[in-house]
Structure 1
Amino acid sequence: MTTLIIAVGSPESNQRWADVFAQLAPKWQIVCWDQVGHTVEADFAVVWRPSIQLFKDQPRLQAIFNIGAGVDGIDFTQVPDSVPVYRVEDAGMAVQMAEYAVYGAMLATQRFMPYVDQQYDKKWEQQEPIYKTEWPVGVMGYGKIGEKVAQTLQLLGYPVSVWVRSERPSPDGMDLFFGSRSLPSFLEQSRILINVLPLTDETRGIVNNTLLAQLPPQSFFINMARGPHVVDEDLLAAIDHGHLSGALLDVFHVEPLPQDHPFWTHPAIHVTPHISGVSLREPTAQQIQAKIQLFLQNQPVSGLVERERMY
């Protein structure tokens, strides 16, 4: 019998995921790590930011499946090289994050904000239209999520360019920049900068003084990747000095965001509690169950994490 162990957070969350997997795979043994610990030896683990104790309790795992696209919450020093780690590919997150990017673009352009104030004053006054050509968008990262974000904004009429770390074919109708040498050229034409990069040693702290200074004046920054991509003090300085008009931030170095963090009260910064792309339980479980079936049949499984790239 295939045994699957769930370790995705609180006992309540573990149980909710276990119930979904039990419906999808009634012949499997589905257990929650908080209930069984080391007393049950599992074949596979479904995880989100797992404790290193899980890997000590479960030394016979054949593979690990992460319920999100980002795997920076896994301590790979505790996972044997022989145990593959797979990430979820989209499962409903890409559309949500595209919606979030559109929300950020609306905040950047102030497309509708004047009408909020006008309603309070019972004021009927049409504002000047927004010319999207004046708001070119730059998307950092072009996986499943970055692709959906870029395509959605392009469909709405924004000029969109993409920056990736290594060369690949150019997306239709978009400029593609790759590698560190092309980053300045990419930034120069990105008035709305959107970060959807994976968090790696290479990308940690990438949004810093040097990067922000290369954006056009009055640019707007949207971060829905990981908090450690950003040097908080540098972002605040860029906004306070007037180079950036503001930012929409969904992810942070410490979550929940500490009550005394200046992001909370800054008038040009919009904070959301890591909701830009939430793993939808049923489609995510379906994808993982299908991946496990392929694994058991010795078939290729997509979403394998390259440890040296952390993606």
Structure 2
Amino acid sequence: MSILLVAKNRNLAPFKEALLNADKNLDVEIWPNVEKPERVQLAVAWNQPKNVFDSYPNLKVISSLGAGADHLIEDSTIPDHIIFTKIYDPSMVTQMNDYVYASVLSILMKLENYRNSEHWDPAPKYSREDLTIGIMGLGNIGKETATYLSNQGFKVFGLSNSKKEIPEIETYTYNDLDPFLKQVNILVNLLPLTKETEGILDLALFKKLKNPSFIINVARGNHLIDEDLIYALDTNIIESAYLDVFNEEPLPSSHPFWSRDTLFITPHIAAISDPDNVASALIDNYKRLLSGMELQNVVDRSKGY
């Protein structure tokens, strides 16, 4: 039996090396160079091409290479009997905490005022009491990020599909979106991408935030309506935004985002999967699959995460 690695425009050699370093008896192949498709029982995928799994008659499980599984759920060519799983990598939590906190500190210190500036004109900084933070999405990463920011002295609110109980953090469900938004200056998006959350970051939402307001999107580009953010930035509805994910990646050089000084762009690097940690999680699930045991981190297709 074998493990198949599938991704477009991504070097999967480090992940194969990590898998073999962890267990030299594994049979690991990287798409499209697959010698024995009938042996594949578990595949690992990231932004896979359509119909790519048609040639693997014994495929039972497809794991996302990251914490999100929307690229699998949206692929209608994958049969319904295939089980989806995702990766929980503790190092990604640390990376996400660092990225979001760095963005929050930039806002707090008003560092955007000095971007490309030749004027020696100090701007009054915000205090922690001036700004409240809202975390949309309280999954494995979101709840840790919310707690981390709370521990840094910020007032933090959380929003999720179902009610969560997190110490020192007031939480809301989707039904209470408006009461949540009106208390928030800095909105951090860590939602899963589903039919319900696609396009949720729009002009109507931006107008409900507490003034001054800021956006940090580290979930998926499809959560954001690009044109609405541009309008909100240009009309000062949103003071500034920090984006690590985009509707099209890499972000085209012609995209109007590049011309906005109040918009900070990074190339999807907020939390990057570590091959060694991914290998450990994959091997555990692979052995569970072969032994008929319950799999870890199974995705609920009906919920989208």
How far apart, in 1, do the equivalents of 2:248 and 2:113 lie? 33
Give the superposed CA RMSD. 2.2
How far apart, in 2, do the equivalents of 1:8 and 1:137 lie? 35
Q: CA deviation at 1:297?
A: 2.4
Q: CA deviation at 1:110?
A: 2.8
Residue 161 of structure 2 corresponds to residue 162 of structure 1: no
Check 1:260–1:37 CA distance in 2 against 1; reply closer, same or farther (3 A cut). farther
Deviations 1:172-215 (A, max 9, x none): 001000123x1001000110000000000000000111111100
- Return the TM-score normalized by structure 2: 0.92
Residue 7 of structure 2 corresponds to residue 8 of structure 1: yes
Q: Could you say which residue in structure 1 is the equivalent of 2:170?
A: 175
- Return the TM-score normalized by structure 1: 0.91
How far apart, in 2, do the equivalents of 1:34 and 1:117 lie? 45
How far apart, in 2, do the equivalents of 1:261 and 1:117 lie? 20
Whether the 8 Å contact between 2:51 and 2:78 is mirrored in structure 1 is no
Whether the 8 Å contact between 1:250 and 1:274 is mirrored in structure 2 is yes
Whether the 8 Å contact between 1:194 and 1:222 is mirrored in structure 2 is yes
Q: Could you say which residue in structure 2 is the equivalent of 1:153?
A: 149
Whether the 8 Å contact between 2:51 and 2:77 is mirrored in structure 1 is no
Q: Could you say which residue in structure 2 is the equivalent of 1:296?
A: 290
Whether the 8 Å contact between 1:250 and 1:271 is mirrored in structure 2 is yes
Question: Which of 34, 40, 43 is the matching residue for 1:42?
Answer: 40
Check 1:54–1:116 CA distance in 2 against 1; reply closer, same or farther (3 A cut). closer
Residue 305 of structure 2 corresponds to residue 308 of structure 1: no
Check 1:289–1:39 CA distance in 2 against 1; reply closer, same or farther (3 A cut). closer
Between the two proteins, the alignment pairs up a number of residues equal to 304
Check 1:262–1:205 CA distance in 2 against 1; reply closer, same or farther (3 A cut). same
Q: CA deviation at 1:113?
A: 5.8
Whether the 8 Å contact between 1:90 and 1:144 is mirrored in structure 2 is no
Q: CA deviation at 1:299?
A: 2.3
How far apart, in 2, do the equivalents of 1:231 and 1:272 lie? 18
Gaps of 5+ in 2: none
SS in 2 for 1:5: strand
Q: Find runs of 4+ consecutive structure 1 residues off by over 6 angstroms.
A: 114-118
Question: Which of 252, 256, 277 is the matching residue for 2:250?
Answer: 256
Whether the 8 Å contact between 1:87 and 1:305 is mirrored in structure 2 is yes
Gaps of 5+ in 1: none
SS in 1 for 2:12: helix
Check 1:113–1:51 CA distance in 2 against 1; reply closer, same or farther (3 A cut). closer
Q: CA deviation at 1:40?
A: 5.0
How far apart, in 2, do the equivalents of 1:301 and 1:116 lie? 48
- The percent identity for this pair of structures is 28
Greater shift in the superposed pair: 19-28 or 205-214: 19-28
